[in-house]
Amino acid sequence: MTDIVISVRDLTKRFGDFTAVDRISFDVLRGEIFGFLGANGAGKTTAMRMLCGLSYPTSGSGTVAGYDVMREGEKIKHHIGYMSQRFSLYNDLTVWENMRLFAGIYGLTKRETEERAAELLDRLNFSSERNTLVGSLPLGWKQKLSFAIATIHRPEVVFLDEPTGGVDPVTRRQFWEMIYEAAEAGTTIFVTTHYMDEAEYCSRVSIMVDGQVRALDTPARLKQQFSAESMDEVFRTLARGAQRGE
């Protein structure tokens, strides 16, 4: 097994004359928390869609979880986890029913589903809530469950798209502790956020401006490079130079 989970070179997406993503290149290593930042309209969403197998690049090359981004979008989808902005489980299904549904979608067998569900419930200390309706759980628990279910098929990398938008400061931190824990256990995390303090929690951060990756390094080195006190300042310096709007 290689230690590079995502590797892209000169990945480009054009819509007519408009180059939404312009030759981006980077590697994401196993167990990394990789922060993917950018101003509105910088091309983050388009880039994420290509990495998740939802859209094919116009040009470039690369692999995600070992599959070719130019040809194997379907295979990529099966081998990654994805948690969208905010909560995306079914409120009127129980904890177990949600697990069974997503396990089924990812093609786990009945036995695999039972084993994996038991393991996740145990790790979350959730076993007593197996038959509770998800809608009645507190927000923090829902988020933990959402993340756990995004990993039900043991993906090599989990994409988190603004997972903490609108979430209270206590729950937001609980969520990040869970990300830390998952990364320590070897899960690779690819995450976008508008909270600049969260950029500090990442192993490495990339910042997109006008379709290109303009900066990529550890938060400490980025701050050094831009002579900035905080990631917020680094981000502002780069985003202010943006030529195109949204």
Amino acid type, 185: A
CA dist., res. 110 & res. 94, Å (int) = 17
Q: Does residue 185 belong to the site contacting other proteins (CB under 8 A)? A: no
C-alpha separations of 10 from 27, 59, 118, 199 in Å: 12, 7, 42, 24
Instruction: Return the residue of 169, 185, 218, 225 that touches other proteins, per CB under 8 A.
Output: 169
Rounded least distance, CB 148 to other proteins, Å: 18
Residue 122 CB-density burial (10 A; 0-12 exposed, 13-18 middle, 19+ buried): exposed
Instruction: Return the residue of 22, 68, 200, 217 that touches other proteins, per CB under 8 A.
Output: 200
CA dist., res. 161 & res. 148, Å (int) = 15
* 11 vs 231 by CB, closer to other proteins: 231
Rounded least distance, CB 207 to other proteins, Å: 11
Instruction: Return the residue of 45, 171, 212, 217 that touches other proteins, per CB under 8 A.
Output: 171
Rounded least distance, CB 151 to other proteins, Å: 18
Instruction: Return the residue of 201, 213, 215, 216 that touches other proteins, per CB under 8 A.
Output: 201
- Which residues are within 8 A (CB) of 66 and not within 5 positions of it... i.e. 6 or more apart? 2, 79, 156
For 228, left (φ over 0), alpha (ψ -120 to 50), or beta?
beta
CA 144 to chain centroid, in Å, comes to 14
Q: Residue 6: beta bridge partners?
A: 28, 64
Q: Do strands 59-64 and 80-83 pair parallel, antiparallel, or not at all (unpaired)? A: unpaired
Q: Does residue 132 belong to the site contacting other proteins (CB under 8 A)? A: no
Rounded least distance, CB 80 to other proteins, Å: 23
Q: Does residue 168 belong to the site contacting other proteins (CB under 8 A)? A: yes
Rounded least distance, CB 208 to other proteins, Å: 11
Q: Running DSSP on this structure, what letter comes out for residue 110?
A: H
Q: Residue 158: beta bridge partners?
A: 81, 189
Q: Does residue 16 belong to the site contacting other proteins (CB under 8 A)? A: no
Q: Does residue 122 belong to the site contacting other proteins (CB under 8 A)? A: no
Instruction: Return the residue of 68, 97, 197, 217 that touches other proteins, per CB under 8 A.
Output: 197
Segment contacting other proteins (CB under 8 A): 9-17, 73-81, 104-112, 229-237?
229-237
> Which residues of the shown chain bind other proteins in the complex (CB under 8 A)?
38-41, 139, 162, 165-171, 173, 176-177, 180-181, 184, 194-198, 200-201, 219, 230-232, 235-236, 239-240, 242, 245-246
